Structure 1
Amino acid sequence: MRKYLGEFMLIITAVIWGSGFVFTAVSLDYLTPYQLLAARFSIGVIILCIVFYKRLKNIRKSTIIKGIVLGIFLYLAFLLQTIGLQFTTPSKNAFITAVNVVIVPFIAFFAYKRRIDKFELSGAFLAIIGIAFLSLQFTTEVNIGDLLTLACAFAFAYQIFYTAKYVKEEDPILLTVVQMGVAALLAWIVVLFRGEWNFSFEIEGVLSTVYLAVFSTTLAYCLQTIAQKFTNETKTAIILSTEAFWGMVFSVILLNEVLTYRMIIGAIIILIAILLSETKLSFIKRKTLKEKNIIQN
């Protein structure tokens, strides 16, 4: 039951992140990318501290250290994605970022010497193909923006991997608080370095930024961290990759983007990827049942 609860929380996270594409587009009309990151992470950590202030009394040194690691990977991922976007197209940026879904199982393999599950790996590659259909404008040209975005994908992959590792022993809420606080601190250092102190307070930009802070940052990362207590890192990456699908859905609904056959094909492939990764459980159950019958006979 907990497994399915974790997967449901990850689906909600992906839906929230998918909606975030629309609000990010609005916010960037009023703030620079670096200002937006500083604002969303700062608001996020403030909300978490207010809501869970009683838990902060019980924070452990190990939680702080692990939260710092997660916070560095989290902000590094967003920073590389933001810089990469300045040199490549949004579609390629979204696609290459999603490559983390394939990177995660290999990180786990090298870290734990654990055999890569064929169902989950196949699901990961299918998810990438589906995302390509959803977002990628097929070109062979590779530039510095693509390489920076690939580095971003590795940072997101390590954030997912270490979250799965750390959350087994730490309070997921406190882990999220520290992670968010570190990301906010790094974001403000970058804003200071760039001298971008002139923030816009136009109501449309403020409301979009608040949405990103409350839902796409605070709520989404809380859900992800808690969910990873019950779901392995590869399954997490596959489910979170549906962010691209939900981004398409919200773009069609809210921004009147035209729905194409390629988008529909991509959505179907991503759905097949998730179902394939779920096949492992039923396969193991059938195998176990078959072995029991052989022993009994």
Structure 2
Amino acid sequence: MTRKENNIVLFSITLCWAASYVFIKSLPPDLSSYAYLTLTTGTASVVLVIVFAKQLKKLNLRILGQGFLMSLLMAGNLLAEKAGIDQLPSSNASFISSLNILFVPLLLLMLHRYPTRNNMLGIPIILFGLALTSGFELRGFLNTGTFYMIVACLFMAVYTISADYFTKSTDPLLLGVTQMCFTAIIGFLLWLMEEPQTFASIEYTRELLSSVFILAFFAKAYAYIMLMYSQRYTSPVSVTIIASTEPIVTLILALLIPASFGAKEVFHLESLLGAMFIMAGAIVAGTNFLDKRKEQAA
């Protein structure tokens, strides 16, 4: 897979995750996070197991162990994020969740893996754009919600780096399927502790079933399988850089289909400037003109 092809795949994943808000809005407000996690990852797991049944014969204990670790990191991220969102303004929560673009390079530095010059220049530009787009207030950070969101970012950063390490030597398809199945099991166990009746406690409307299936197929099955493949051919920093453009995609979708996002959205000056900075930072960080200039100077 070429760099351009890989970037297209990563953008398609970002589009799936940004568009998923449309269908999340359609879910019943009383549907718990654990039920949502179980239904979407469970449905995705069933689809993946049926479609790739022959490939699953290649599973071994090493792949199962890696998939289980990835599912723990994914579940930890989702649970910490839920706790943080409950205690923070949405704008602040959105900004902190985007700090993964900062945590991934910091963790890589601890592993003696250094970002490129373009990465180091582009990341601050993206962070500034994210700050403008989210419109956060400094005083809104002074509670435990900030702590939970930072923990969620750390889980996601470790997840991204772990995926980068595992996919270089493990079949991305098998890794994606196993982590999806284990995440569904974890979600179900948490849901069982919260609501012993689990599946029997839900009213299955056509709207619920259609939203769950679309979320399961695109935001879970497709997105995570393709993410595993993409991480085989690119760096963790590149993954987070492209993922940082999600606020731009969300803003555009909110303009195109405002009813699905709950309200009519307009581009405020801050949002427009923020989007421009994010795109500029992504372009700078995703290229290598500074390294080429250094080589030419040498």
Give the alignment's TM-score, normalised by structure 1: 0.91
Q: Structure 1 residues 290, 129: CA separation in 2 closer, same or farther (over 3 Å shift)?
A: closer
> What's the CA shift for 1:14?
0.6
How many residues were matched structurally? 289
The answer on whether the counterparts of 1:41 and 1:181 sit within 8 Å (CA) in structure 2 is: yes
Is the partner of 2:232 in helix, strand or coil? coil
Partner amino acid, structure 1, of 2:132: F
- Alpha-carbon deviations, 1:231-272, whole Å to 9, x = none? 100111110111222122212221232222221111111111
User: Aligned partners of 1:286 and 1:124: how far apart in 2?
Assistant: 19
Cα deviation, residue 139, structure 1? 3.3
C-alpha displacement of 1:60: 2.5
SS at match of 1:183: helix
Mapped partners of 1:145, 1:124: distance in 2: 24
Deviations 1:192-212 (A, max 9, x none): 111162123122222222211
Q: What does residue 155 of structure 1 align with?
A: 155
Aligned to 2:139, what secondary structure does the other structure show?
coil
Shift of 1:290: 5.9
1:295 aligned residue: none
State the AA in 2 paired with 1:231: T
**For residues 22 and 147 of structure 1, what CA distance do their matches in structure 2 show?**
28
Contact residue 117 and residue 290 of structure 2 kept, 8 A: no
Q: CA deviation at 1:225?
A: 0.9
- Which residue does the alignment assign to 2:291? 284
Contact 2:103–2:157 (CA under 8 A) maintained in structure 1: yes
Corresponding position of 2:49: 49
Match of 1:234 among 215, 234, 237: 237
Unaligned runs of 5+ in 1: 292-297
Contact 1:70–1:162, Cα closer than 8 Å, also in 2: yes
Structure 1 residue 114 and structure 2 residue 113: aligned? yes
User: 2:256 maps to what in 1?
Assistant: 253
User: What's the RMSD between the two structures over aligned residues?
Assistant: 1.7
**Aligned AA (1:182):** F
- Alpha-carbon distance between aligned partners in 2 of 1:18 and 1:106, rounded to the nearest angstrom: 26
The runs of at least 4 aligned residues of structure 1 exceeding 3 Å deviation read: 282-291
TM-score normalised by the chain length of structure 2: 0.91
Pairing 1:27–2:27 present: yes
Could you tell which deviates more after superposition, 201-210 or 71-80?
201-210
Unaligned runs of 5+ in 2: 259-263
Indicate conservation of the 8 Å contact 1:20/1:247, yes or no: no
- Output the amino acid matched with 2:238: K
**Which of residues 257, 265, 279 is equivalent to 2:273?**
265
User: Using the alignment, how far apart are the partners of 1:200 and 1:231 within structure 2?
Assistant: 43
